[in-house]
Chains A and B, each alone.
Chain A
Amino acid sequence: MTLATAPPRDRAPSPAPRRRRAGARTFVGVGTVAVVGYLVLVPLAYLVWGALSDERGITFAGFRRAYADSQLGGVVGDTALYVAGSTLVAVACGTLMAYAHVRTDAPFRRLFFLSSIIPLALPSVAYVPAWIFLASPDIGLLNRMSDAVLGVTPFNVYGVGGMMFVQGIHSTPLVFLLMSAAFRSTDASLEESAQTCGLGRAVILRRITLPLVRPALAAATLIVAVQSLESFEVPAMLGLHDGVYVLISKIYFLMQQYPIDYQATGALSLGLLAVATVGVVLSRRISRGAAQTVTGKAFRPRRIRLGRMRGAVGALTLAYFAVAVLAPVAILVYASLLKTYRTPSLSTAGFTLDNFSAVLSSGTTLTAVRNSTVLGLGAAVVVMALSAFTGWIVVRSRSRAATAVDALAFTPLVIPGLVLGLGLAFVYLRSPIPVYGTLWILLIAYVTRFLPYGVRYANTAMQQVSAELEDSAVVFGASWWTTMRRILLPLARPGLIAGGLYIVVVSFRELSSSILLYSPGTEVIGVRVFEQYQEGSLTSVAAMGVLLCAFLGVLVTALVAVAGRLGVDLD
């Protein structure tokens, strides 16, 4: 064998041998895990502790008070009804739209996209009041119109029915996005082969298409149900008016009492948290299974010709767009131009910009705008920085901790904003760290709540960067930190920017954890709108809503532009 002789074995190796150094990589990795763990676990721990402890030690008195409450049966019943109803509305509308959009030649394709994206710029604090203008029993436009024509006032946005409808319509875009992806990724050739066997269209839909997307459908259903369970705005604005309580508003109600029964509130929150956790864990499990049903081939599903149905589907699309987007926005703009609200007519008499000038000259409101801006930008920067390193640990490090870190970073998804607020209040009322009553506690809340979104964007962005690009930099002498700074972060930057924009958007919409954590001077926009609503100045609410929507509209447009180049799903 013509092989070289081995180099002499008994020589002193020239540079001193070393183990891999514990450098920046270890430092940043451990630091990230510590920060994420602190943010996520500490409020949960305090929540449990707050629910279980009093001066004398561990007690179940809070649980007893919370769950033996004679009204609780009614609350749970209403919650179930509301969640089921709103989920049904969202899943039915969203799935139908997704099917029409992906699998048929329905007209107005652009409109589908718009109706899925515009609601991102319509925060609940503006959207819900819009529906009050449209369908409240006394001032609602729809009631006034039907009263004039038919002499009846059938619509009532207050109460469980109205809550179901508004929450359902507001969640529809999420279902639409999830189900569009599912319809797009299941193989249309299965349907086509069924068609060649002579099966009718309805049979194919029922026997082939629906079973194929059933896992995605189940996952979407659970996600939307958890969202309904956790969302605060709709129950607070539409339920409390007539004394209808669901779990989340019951918790809020308990927090407004004096003295606050922290144990009972904590106990109730833990119950809500448990239900939400079951929902989220189930949906993740289901969608993990669903990922395997797609074949991975890129196919252009052939669109089904609707024929004469096309007109009807087009009309339905227009109607949906009118109801879900156009009417609420129009009535909001209309109301914002009036000093005192009156039912719309053709006259423009009394139109005034007073509301806007009042909004823009109110010191508290301007403070709120400033606070929201600071918090939005701060949360975006902090979350994306954390997410970049979390994403690196999850996607790249091959560390055994990766799965745990991933699960940890996604945990806030199951914590309702209000419950997180409660947990943080528990923590920082008792902690020596003086952040209670400052913007810092809100920043902590926002960073925790929005961490999962940031991590999702960062993971997607980093998965798209081939690991060999980093390996090559390392081989050519780049340290871990240089590789991060010169290779991975620049290549993942569009995704990180999109994530940051998304977080600014959701920060400006935030109400449910701010409502428990703000104090005078640290109001945010959501809180300010909610206060105006509680004071009954609906036209100011409308004016602030219009401004907020316009601002978010600009941000969302930028987000769509960035994310569109990136292929990130905006859910």
Chain B
Amino acid sequence: MLHVQDLIIDYAGGGRRARAEDAVRAVDGVSFDVAPGQLFTLLGPSGCGKTTTLRSVAGLESPSGGSITIGDRLVYSAAENVDVPADERRLGMVFQSYAIWPHMTVAKNVSFPLELAKRRARPSRAEIRARVEKVLAVTELDAFADRPATKLSGGQQQRLALARALVIEPQLLLLDEPLSNLDAKLRESMRMELKRLQRDLGLTAVYVTHDQVEALAMSSVIAVMNGGKIVQMGTPREIYERPNSRFVADFIGTSNLLPAVVAGAGPDGTSVRAGHAVLRSADRVDAASGADLLVSLRPEDLSLAPHDPAAPPAGDNELAGVVTARAFLGEATEHVVRVGDRSVRCRSNPSLSIEPGRDVTVRVAPEKVRLVPLG
């Protein structure tokens, strides 16, 4: 549906006299594919080039290299000197600021994109009215059709922006942080709402966000971006469970990252030495013994028990430590445990509560010990 290949986008440098060497490379060789019906997410920290990538798919930025194909239509190609203007790409887009036209009513905002169609393709007046009514009903805005668009709440404006993007029944829907202006509660319910609409209407969408929870909850495929490049691409589960770099592990959810050294490799996994402990992992790496890497331990995968002096000394996949802090979070208790010179966060059932200062043992199953390459 969408095929982006080796996309490169440069911004002319700031400053009053633009020089070539000041140019900022905002997007640096990005390639990805989106299959029909997928919700594809570009995830990354602020300034990593997500918006720029999305805007160039829409035709609002001029790339300096690569190609973009939407459906079977080549819309941009540096090599073939093709650049279809934005107003001929016919995509739906939801902007970060909603970009609702303040001088029009709610209904007018939705019908305007339909009225813009070329004369031959323009729907009749009656059809426009019917489609506007339908899409306003889907987004539950039918009660506000004749209101000035500025007199809507934040959530309603967000739905209006979506209604406007949906009314043209686009092949591809582009969403730039559509939920970031909403408060936490509304964001959660709109997230579900958006996902439901996307699935029910069978929309193909590219979704931009810097919120990893949002990305994990909604996406079919996530591409994690950093510094203008895609660093990892995969399903939410793959990204969450097998981060391929320190950056991704850090960025996706809270995770304990410990430096470790490969101690030995076998057919059923790898054993590594982290501090004084030896950890067996189900992951296989093709690194030689003695190679440095990182161990990623999710807080919810760690089980915590008070240290029993009678028990034998710590075995494999056991870390001895001291609780330094404890926080009750409602659905869980979080303990911070000092292991060697590192702090490890453990998330357990709220019924477990261990006073700070107590010696504890932290256990983790081999298949939960994730090995992450350095870098």
Contacts and interface: CB of A to CB of B under 8 A. Distances in A.
Interface of A: 1-7, 11, 13-15, 17-21, 400, 403, 466, 468-469, 471-479, 482, 486-487, 490-491
Contact of B72 (A13, A21, A478, A487): A13
19 contacts: A1-B234, A1-B235, A2-B220, A2-B238, A4-B33, A4-B34, A6-B33, A13-B74, A13-B82, A14-B73, A17-B82, A469-B102, A472-B99, A473-B101, A475-B93, A476-B92, A476-B112, A476-B116, A477-B168
Nearest to B220: A2
B234 A490 contact: no
A482 B96 CA distance: 23
A23 to B, nearest CB: 9
A15 B92 CA distance: 19
A468 B96 contact: yes
A400 B174 CA distance: 29
A366 B132 CA distance: 57
A1 B86 CA distance: 31
A469 B99 CA distance: 5
B354 interface: no
Contacts of B82: 13, 17-19
B59 interface: yes
A490 B112 CA distance: 15
Contacts of B278: none
Contacts of B35: 3-5
Given A18-B82, A466-B99, A468-B97, A475 B221 contact: no
A479 B86 CA distance: 9
B77 interface: yes
A14 B233 CA distance: 30
B95 A3 contact: no
7 closest A-B pairs by beta carbon, nearest first, are: A4-B35, A17-B82, A476-B113, A13-B74, A468-B99, A472-B99, A477-B116
A19 B96 CA distance: 28
Nearest to A471: B60
B235 to A, nearest CB: 5
Contacts of A14: 72-73
B33 A477 contact: no
Contacts of B233: 1, 3
A474 B3 CA distance: 22
Given A482-B116, A491-B103, A7 B86 contact: no
Given A14-B72, A18-B82, A491-B103, 19 more contacts: A1-B235, A2-B220, A3-B33, A4-B34, A6-B3, A7-B1, A11-B72, A13-B72, A20-B85, A469-B99, A472-B99, A473-B101, A473-B112, A476-B87, A476-B93, A476-B113, A477-B90, A486-B112, A491-B102
Contact of A477 (B34, B72, B83, B117): B117
Interface of B: 1, 3, 12, 16, 18, 32-36, 38, 55, 58-60, 69, 72-74, 77, 80-93, 95-97, 99, 101-103, 112-113, 116-117, 164, 168, 174, 220-221, 233-235, 238
B213 to A, nearest CB: 21
A10 to B, nearest CB: 12
A150 B52 CA distance: 79
B55 to A, nearest CB: 8
B58 A475 contact: yes
Contact of B84 (A6, A7, A18, A471): A18
Contacts of A474: 59-60, 86-87
A5 B34 CA distance: 9
Nearest to A487: B101
A478 B117 CA distance: 8
A477 B87 contact: yes
Contacts of A477: 87-88, 90, 113, 116-117, 168
A1 B103 CA distance: 46
Q: Which of A7, A473, A476, A479 has the most CB of B within 10 A?
A: A476
Contacts of B89: 475
Given A4-B33, A478-B116, A17 B84 contact: yes
A491 B102 CA distance: 8
A11 B72 CA distance: 8
A477 B118 CA distance: 9
Nearest to B112: A476
A486 B111 CA distance: 13
A2 to B, nearest CB: 5
A20 B12 CA distance: 19
A126 to B, nearest CB: 40
Nearest to A25: B85
B38 A4 contact: yes
A403 B3 CA distance: 37
A4 B256 CA distance: 33
Given A1-B238, A468-B95, A472-B93, A478 B87 contact: yes
Contacts of A15: 73, 84
B206 to A, nearest CB: 13
Nearest to A469: B99
A19 B3 CA distance: 20
A430 B37 CA distance: 70
Contacts of A490: 103
A482 B116 CA distance: 9
Nearest to A13: B74
A491 B80 CA distance: 38
Contacts of A19: 81-83
A2 B222 CA distance: 10
A195 B223 CA distance: 55
A20 B1 contact: no
A468 B35 CA distance: 28
A475 B116 contact: no
B122 to A, nearest CB: 10
A490 B1 CA distance: 37
Contacts of A6: 3, 33
Contact of B3 (A1, A7, A486): A7
A476 B91 CA distance: 7
A490 B104 CA distance: 10
Contacts of A466: 97, 99
B212 to A, nearest CB: 19
